[in-house]
Structure 1
């Protein structure tokens, strides 16, 4: 079994490239025979393509308090858009091949107070597929809740290696570009120590066959 892994950190940035046209003098209409023939030969694509992942430019996610009750202090935010692009040809994809984007949060640590921490099991998410699809080839991952239940019935396991986006169908249907984000919810104990906490959310793209 071969596993290819690429990893993006939440704060990753994506370089955009633009090609600007350059204007020049207009061609004289009275000299058609002086024109220059421009030709190009474009060979067929010979590469096998790849599955790749990018994260939208961002400065991190700042969670804000919303939904706090007698059970938990709740802080919410939105994950930047994650894009997976599959440029392989159907004939180059092995039978049974699939890919998945998995999220793993580190422990929240309070600035200036190493003793104050919040485990990743208190952070949950609800993935949302942003791309239109009628094939069912790719789907958003299942919601997960903090170990302090949010009352929705989602598994209370926290964000410790949960799927954000996964391919589910045959190779021809999953080729293309797919986008997803997620609603984040940190449900901490009501007696959590005050402070500014930081965690790193790592997104990993796994391709397995």
Structure 2
């Protein structure tokens, strides 16, 4: 993973500005003569908005993993991550050389709802990111797949989902401008003797930028 401690976590904030008319009271004056009126005009050009890199996640009710592909080595439960969209609206000329961004995923422990079973660590959850947008420029790429610490036999690193890239910009900043979509196949591979029960985890996605 290329992101280091110098990276900035990008956060979007919305600021509302209200314009209100105020009634100003003053001394009484004689009736205005229309011929003495002064026309006041102003031309207001469209405002300019500074570009930014932003991330959204498709509306979802969570991911319910279903058992599929279990074998003698592990119980396996699979599902699909909701589509994640990154949009870069910056001016290419204002982006520093070497600037890049990345979406990083971090899973928490799977804890039993009733607390009766020990937690399942994030090292047992893997994913295989899939870029859904046109990648002909090579400017943006899906992250590398990772497997549970119980290997799935694919040859992917068996490190689990503990701070792994889902989507990363890789090329010239001018080519990165646009909208990019990605999702991922999720696979939880646990020991075969895992305790029965309902478990829940939180998968956090963060958009980082580094220059």
Q: Report the TM-score when normalising by structure 1.
A: 0.80
Indicate which of 169, 175, 183 corresponds to 2:185: 183
Q: 1:136 aligns with which of 121, 138, 142?
A: 138
Instruction: Note if contact 1:66-1:76 (Cα within 8 Å) is conserved in structure 2.
Output: yes
Match of 2:98 in 1: 96
State whether residues 124 and 148 of structure 2, in contact with CA within 8 Å, keep that contact through their aligned partners in structure 1.
yes
* Partner residue in 1 for 2:61: 59
Q: Is the CA contact 2:143–2:167 (under 8 Å) kept in the aligned structure 1? A: yes
Aligned counterparts of 1:114 and 1:5: Cα–Cα separation in 2 = 36
- Residue number in structure 1 paired with 2:9: 5
User: What are structure 2's unaligned runs of at least 5 residues?
Assistant: 13-42
CA 1:193–1:158: 2 relative to 1, 3 Å:
same
Q: Where in structure 1 are there 5+ consecutive unaligned residues?
A: 9-39
Match of 1:28 in 2: none
Please tell me whether Structure 1 or Structure 2 has the larger radius of gyration of its CA atoms: 2
Give the Cα separation in 2 of the matches to 1:134 and 1:174: 12
**Secondary structure in 1 aligned to 2:87?**
strand
Q: TM-score, normalised by structure 2?
A: 0.80
- Counterpart residue number, 2:19: none
Which structure's residues are more often strand, by fraction?
A: 1
SS of structure 2 residue aligned to 1:118: coil
**RMSD of aligned Cα (Å):** 1.8
